[in-house]
């Protein structure tokens, strides 16, 4: 079974219609099958890192999926080269604002020298044969459909970078290409349960601005769902990578 997750129902509208997913409960979850017959469950986790962690952990306590596939929209950092409507795939997830502000600047939690067991998690690497195969698949599909695509680090924050200064600071600190409020929590939960994880985001806006004219959530969400459809349509090929990880 594949567990598909998104923060909101807006980010899965086309997917639910295309796959004719049926509501499974009052918990914003749906069940169905891909065209190739792979069983799927779709879960809306709610926005933000805490809601995502709680919802996904509850799901992983009940079922053990072959993989968790996260879909949604996100903001691009200035140096990413990604325009609104582009597709991005996470190579790692970073908790971008987990730490403290000091007179010298931001100090990440992992560098605060606080004795802790287990140790704090700031970055979750997602490199795997599955990620490599997925990146190659999406690059080919994007080229065919004349879409922008890039694989790189994603940044998760509780406070989005709505000013140019904060956007530039987070990009410099993390080398991230895409910002959201959920991905790192999902990546950490999947790492804890040893479940393969992929995260796709369609760019809905540039970070550093709250100008509504620069936002297109519908476009970003549609691109992300297009990318997820490419993965689901080719899952029989991609799942062979899981045997080698």
Structural domain range at position 203: 2-244
Write phi, then psi, for 226 (nearest 5 degrees). -60, -45
Characterize the bridge pairing of strands 87-95 and 197-206.
antiparallel
- The pLDDT tens digits of the residues spanning 56-90 come to 999 999 999 999 999 999 999 999 999 999 999 99
DSSP H stretches of helix in 175-211? 183-193
Range 155-173 average pLDDT: 96
Q: What is the CATH number of the domain that holds 108?
A: 3.40.50.1580
3-state secondary structure of 207: coil
Length of the chain: 245
Residue closest to 194 by CA, chosen among 59, 58, 60, 6: 60
Which pLDDT value is given to residue 25?
Answer: 56
Are the CB atoms for 180 and 93 separated by under 8 Å? Answer: no
pLDDT band at 190 (very low <50, low <70, confident <90, very high): very high
Torsion angle of C-alpha atoms 105, 108, 113, 115, degrees rounded to 10: 150
Give the Cα separation of 85 and 231 in Å (integer): 18
202 - beta bridge partners?
Answer: 73, 87
pLDDT computed for residue 26 by the predictor: 47
The domain total for the chain is: 1
Predicted local confidence at residue 2, as pLDDT: 96
What are the structure tokens assigned to 168, written together? 């530039």
Q: 121-162, pLDDT tens digit by residue?
A: 999 999 999 999 999 999 999 999 999 999 999 999 999 999
pLDDT over 60 at 245, yes or no: no
Is the distance from CB of 30 to CB of 49 less than 8 angstroms? no
- C-alpha to C-alpha distance for 230 and 104, rounded to whole angstroms: 45
């Amino acid at each position: 079974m594949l567990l598909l997750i998104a923060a909101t129902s807006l980010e899965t509208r086309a997917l639910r219609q295309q796959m004719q997913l049926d509501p499974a409960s009052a918990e914003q979850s749906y069940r169905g099958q891909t065209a190739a017959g792979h069983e799927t469950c779709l879960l809306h986790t709610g926005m933000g890192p805490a809601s995502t962690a709680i919802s996904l952990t509850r799901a992983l306590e009940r079922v053990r999926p072959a993989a968790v596939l996260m879909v949604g929209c996100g903001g691009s950092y200035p140096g990413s080269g990604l325009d609104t409507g582009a597709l991005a795939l996470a190579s790692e997830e970073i908790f971008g604002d987990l730490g403290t502000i000091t007179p010298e600047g931001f100090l990440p939690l992992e560098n605060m020298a606080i004795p802790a067991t287990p140790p704090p998690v700031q970055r979750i690497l997602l490199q795997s044969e599955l990620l490599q195969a997925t990146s190659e698949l999406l690059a080919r599909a994007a080229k065919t459909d004349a879409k922008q695509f890039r694989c790189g680090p994603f940044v998760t924050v509780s406070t989005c970078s709505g000013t140019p200064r904060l956007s530039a600071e987070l990009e410099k600190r993390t080398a991230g290409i895409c910002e959201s409020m959920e991905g790192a929590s999902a990546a950490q939960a999947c790492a804890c349960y040893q479940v393969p994880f992929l995260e796709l985001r369609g760019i809905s806006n540039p970070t550093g601005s709250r100008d509504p004219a620069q936002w297109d959530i519908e476009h970003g969400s549609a691109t992300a769902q297009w990318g997820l459809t490419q993965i689901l349509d080719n899952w029989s090929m991609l799942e062979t990578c899981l045997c080698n990880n």
